[in-house]
Structure 1
């Protein structure tokens, strides 16, 4: 029988460049590398048998990739789709497991607080969704929709009936506005609060500094050296912090902080100084506002809504203190803590910039609208459950 002639191969400059990159690239897979060599040899007019000898491939393999390139070009060197093993589970079964993961275990009568992959697989088998399914299969299904039912976040629902009005006043002050009018140059906004119970934990062995491929090491056991409270007032627009330490929180320590700020310029002679505080016992209610005004006539106390300390910018500063000063906690005594906090205040004030506060009254309206929709949906679901 006559032998079929080898497919002639002619390359464009672009194809030759791409094939050489495939054939000699350091990160090219071995199969792609060999296919590129076959085509490059064929473009030089060599026979299939010679290419097979030089590349170590079978002549049928050489013939296959030579013909595919001749027919399809560069796309012919890629693997063709393979049917593979038929799927063991249907799309409906995967959707049912995902729907189960989006339910609370208590709603299904399962005595669990959170789902895990093995528990979901077990529940799917018990419900007859699938005769058998592994935890790794459940993991792949949930990963497709980024479902992580074992994670949770705590939150507090709005209970303050005047939430919007109180929050709007705070947000307006951050935007240098009060009752619809811009603040004057001699009006200031102070955000104040207390960071309670900063403990002095003296480690029983010295803390080891970090090294190559080794994190800082802090001994687990420690001796207690007492605790103190850190009170701070943050000038929102000047990015300046005033702090003090006290044995405990209360009305008197808070007023000491106010006096520390209001006794110095420019606050002493300012037209008005707005003090934004939360509803802690040290400055709660109208009595606290009257106490502040009677002591300092140019001071105005503004409360955040109940359970909305996240509106108080000084909390951002406290988070910085927690990360950079307090943690890990390794202090010999309370004096050591006080010295460290005061030194950090000086360091912070030297380079601080105002926080880029982006939550506005428009964002507040969007938040309240979402919560209203959530409440309505929850009430509707409760009504359906009770009717059933």
Structure 2
């Protein structure tokens, strides 16, 4: 038999640690397909198999097998990674990147409250696209502002623990209802017919409207089922709120206790309501902290009603508005979707503490 021709084949011998690493990389779901193939090539080479045999088994070219076999033989595991691709050198140095970040965080242009990509590009002497790339890499968005309000409620911690505990661990033989009012819901009609959605054009409507009155919507959201108990009235007074509490008392079975989550509106704390609570001992009121309506889940339901139904709706009278809202509520209650609360009181308080730590002179 004649001697084998061609380039000499590198002999691959693996240590136990290298074999374990290669097998793990070859089967790990998050490994790239290219790296997994290279690991399989080396493992097969360690078994003494020839390049053509390995290429046929793995569905690649023999030259590919030879390349990664030799790379591993000379550089071991480090040889399986890709070499840096050739290209032009970086034009923006680390010092320039640092300059852009520091200026973005600690200064503002003379003619604006925040930097834009173009104003920062002119300041730093680089292109606007480069500024955009730096901001994207470091998660900087000078054009965005998120508003917040720190609650001054002296019982904030106790109320947060009370409400979060009520959501996460509701009492047995009881129903938890989130109650609030959507006041002054307006019956609005556009001054011209709405132009429908068309291919290439969104729905169009006039910016002005005609007012046809308002209504007040009372809602009680069952946190367990997602169903709502509602009532509408022309006025928003203590008397209307008391009538709504009577409606809740009638709708909830007598054998269940009722826990009500409320905000701090004055109509919820009047002597009339306090006397009503004394006459109905199965009701327990839980008040949200001041400026913390986000802790009341019914606000999330009001958001659904507003964004999906009212914001783009048109109504020619208060009766038309009320009928429209009732139709949407009936549809909701036919297939209710409860809103699930996930955050514990400790998680909420830790998040708030991290904000306050960055805000000087908060008094908290």
Structure-2-length-normalised TM-score: 0.72
Q: Tell me if 1:369 matches 2:345.
A: no
1:75-100 C-alpha deviation (Å, 9 max, x unpaired): 99x9983342x433321111111122
SS of 2:251 mapped into structure 1: coil
Does the C-alpha gap of structure 1 residues 145 and 272 become closer, same or farther in structure 2, counting only changes over 3 Å? Answer: same
Match of 2:99 among 96, 116, 123: 96
Q: In the alignment, which residue of structure 2 is the partner of 1:228?
A: 215
Q: Which residue of 2 aligns with 1:313?
A: 297
Question: Larger relative CO (CA 8 A, sep 6+): 1 or 2?
Answer: 2
Q: Distance in 2 between matches of 1:256 and 1:227?
A: 19
Tell me the secondary structure at the aligned position of residue 212 of structure 2: strand
> Which residue in the other structure is 2:336 paired with?
352
Distance 1:312 1:252 in 2: 22
How far apart are 1:381 and its partner, in Å? 12
Look up the match of 1:40.
none
Residue by residue over 1:174-194, the C-alpha shift from the partner in whole angstroms, topping out at 9 and shown as x without a partner, is 2344xxxxx332x22211101
Q: Structure 2 vs 1, CA of residues 381 and 210 (structure 1 numbering), >3 Å: closer, same or farther?
A: closer
| Higher alpha-carbon Rg | 1
CA–CA distance in 2 between the matches of 1:357 and 1:219? 39
State the match for 1:157 in structure 2.
150
Q: CA separation in 2, counterparts of 1:204 and 1:323?
A: 21
Deviations 1:29-81 (A, max 9, x none): xxxxxxxxxxxxxx9xxxxxxxxxxxxxxxxxxxxxxxx989858999x9983
Q: Is the Cα contact below 8 Å between 1:190 and 1:274 reproduced in 2?
A: yes
Q: What is residue 278 of structure 1 aligned with on the other side?
A: 263
Equivalent position to 2:313, from 315, 329, 343:
329
CA-based RMSD of the aligned residues comes to 3.5
TM-score under structure 1 length normalisation = 0.68
Q: Structure 1 residue 278: deviation in Å?
A: 0.7
Partner of 2:162: 169
Question: Could you tell me whether the CA contact under 8 Å between 1:276 and 1:302 is conserved in 2?
Answer: yes
In structure 2, stretches of 5+ residues that fail to align are 1-6, 8-50, 72-81
Structure 2: distance between partners of 1:276 and 1:257? 14
Distance in 2, matches of 1:358 and 1:332, equals: 41
Shift of 1:148: 1.1
Farther-moved stretch of structure 1 (294-303 vs 137-146) = 294-303
Question: Structure 1 residue 244: deviation in Å?
Answer: 1.8
